[in-house]
C-alpha cells in the first residue's frame, strides 16, 4: 500500500470511505427532506425507515473510517496553503467527523425516546438507547435538525473549497481524493 505522506495522495481505502459516506450523507438529506414534505402515512414512514437504515450505515462506516485513519494519517497539505487555510481545512475535517457521529446518534436517540424502532433494512432492529421520554424527543429532534443545518453549511463550504483548490489555485487537493486519476497527467491537462 503506498505511503500517503510520500505519494501525496489519499489511499484507495480513504477515498472509498470518503466517497461512499459523502454519497450516503447526500442521500440522507434527500430522503429526510422528501419525507418532510409528505403527510403522515405509509410512504413517509417508508422513507424515514430508509433514512434511519442509511443513517446507521453512516455511523458504522464513520467508526471504521476513524479507526482506519488513526493508523493511516492523511497526506500533508500542499505547501502553498496559508496558515489560516490549513487551520480551516483541519477544523472542517474535525467538525465533519464529530457530525458523522452526532447526526446518527441524535437520530437513534430521538427514535428511542419516542419508542420507534430503528431497523437496518429489515435485517435486524437496533436496541433502544433510552426509554420513552417526550421532552427528550423534542430536544433531540431539534438538535438533529440544527446539526443537519450545520452539516449542510459545512459540506457546502467544503465543496466550494475543493473546487476552488482545483480550478483557482490549481493544486492537487481535489485530485488526490479522486480515484482513477494520475496527478501528473491531470495537472498538465489543467494548465493547457
Ligand atoms: C448522517 C446521518 C444523518 C443525517 C445527515 C440526517 C439528516 C437529517 C435531516 C437534515 C433531517 C431534517 C429534515 C427536515 O425536516 O428538514 C432529518 C430528520 C430525521 N432524521 Fe435524520 N439524519 C441522519 C441520521 C439519522 C438516523 C440514524 C436516524 C434514526 C435512527 C434519523 C432519524 C430521523 C428522523 C426520524 C427524522 C424526522 C424528524 C422529524 O419528524 O422532524 N436520522 N435527518
Ligand atoms: C457531503 C459530504 C462530504 C463529507 C461528509 C466529506 C467529508 C470529508 C472529510 C471528513 C475529509 C477529511 C478526510 C481525512 O483527512 O480523513 C474530506 C476530505 C476531502 N473532501 Fe470531502 N466530504 C464530502 C463531500 C465532498 C465533495 C462533494 C467533494 C468534492 C467536490 C469533497 C472533496 C474533498 C477533498 C478534495 C478532500 C481532501 C482535502 C485535503 O486533502 O485536505 N468532499 N472530506
Number of domains composing the chain: 1
Provide the residue-wise pLDDT of the chain in tens; the chain has 192 residues.
444 444 588 999 999 999 999 999 999 999 999 999 999 999 999 999 999 999 999 999 999 999 999 999 999 988 888 999 999 999 999 999 999 999 999 999 999 999 999 999 999 999 999 999 999 999 999 999 999 999 999 999 999 999 999 999 888 899 999 998 776 644 444 433
* 3, part of any domain: no
79 DSSP assignment: T
Instruction: With respect to residue 18, please indicate whether it lies within any of the assigned structural domains.
Output: yes
pLDDT reported for residue 25? 98
Please report whether residue 53 resides in a domain: yes
- The closest residue, in CA terms, to atom 4 on ligand 2 is 22
Q: Which residues pair with 151 in a beta bridge?
A: none
Mark 145-163 as b/e (b = at least 16 C-beta within 10 Å): eebbeebeebbeebeebee
Nearest to 111 by CA among 137, 85, 134, 88: 137
Tell me the per-residue pLDDT of 68-85, one tens digit each, with 9 for 90 and over: 999 999 999 888 889 999
| Residues near ligand 1 (Cβ within 6 A) | 25, 28-29, 32-33, 36, 48, 51-52, 55-56, 58, 103-104, 107-108, 111, 118, 141, 144-145, 148, 151
pLDDT of residue 170: 86
- pLDDT for 5: 41
2 lies in some domain: no
Considering the domain boundaries, does residue 73 fall inside one?
Answer: yes
Residue whose C-alpha is closest to residue 68's, from 19, 104, 15: 15
**Ligand 2 proximal residues by C-beta, below 6 Å:** 18, 21-22, 25-26, 69, 74, 77, 89, 93, 96-97, 155, 158-159, 162-163, 173-174, 177
Q: Which CATH number do you get for residue 88?
A: 1.20.950
Does residue 112 belong to any structural domain of this protein?
A: yes
Specify the pLDDT at position 7.
58
> Which atom of ligand 2 sits closest to the CA of residue 65?
16
Range of the domain at 92: 12-187
Residue 69: predicted pLDDT:
94
Ligand 2 center–CA 158 separation, angstroms: 7
- pLDDT at residue 184, rounded to an integer: 66
| DSSP secondary structure letter of residue 53 | H
Ligand nearest to the CA of 153: 2
Euclidean distance between CA atoms 83 and 100, whole angstroms:
26
Q: Is 150 inside a domain boundary?
A: yes
Residue 26 placed within a domain? yes
Amino acid at each position: 500500500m503506498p505511503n500517503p505522506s510520500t505519494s501525496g495522495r489519499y489511499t484507495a481505502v480513504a477515498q472509498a470511505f470518503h466517497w461512499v459516506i459523502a454519497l450516503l450523507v447526500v442521500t440522507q438529506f434527500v430522503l429526510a427532506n422528501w419525507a418532510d414534505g409528505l403527510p403522515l402515512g405509509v410512504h413517509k414512514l417508508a422513507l424515514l425507515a430508509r433514512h434511519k437504515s442509511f443513517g446507521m450505515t453512516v455511523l458504522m462506516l464513520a467508526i471504521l473510517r476513524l479507526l482506519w485513519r488513526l493508523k493511516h494519517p492523511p497526506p500533508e497539505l500542499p505547501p502553498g496553503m496559508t496558515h489560516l487555510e490549513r487551520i480551516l481545512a483541519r477544523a472542517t475535517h474535525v467538525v465533519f467527523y464529530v457530525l458523522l457521529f452526532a447526526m446518527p446518534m441524535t437520530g437513534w436517540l430521538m427514535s428511542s425516546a419516542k419508542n420507534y424502532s430503528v431497523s437496518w433494512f429489515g435485517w435486524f432492529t437496533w436496541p433502544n438507547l433510552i426509554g420513552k421520554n417526550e421532552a427528550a424527543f423534542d430536544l433531540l429532534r431539534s438538535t438533529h435538525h440544527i446539526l443537519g443545518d450545520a452539516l449542510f453549511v459545512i459540506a457546502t463550504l467544503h465543496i466550494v473549497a475543493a473546487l476552488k483548490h482545483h480550478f483557482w489555485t490549481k493544486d492537487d487537493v481535489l485530485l488526490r481524493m479522486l480515484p482513477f486519476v494520475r496527478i501528473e497527467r491531470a495537472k498538465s491537462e489543467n494548465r493547457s
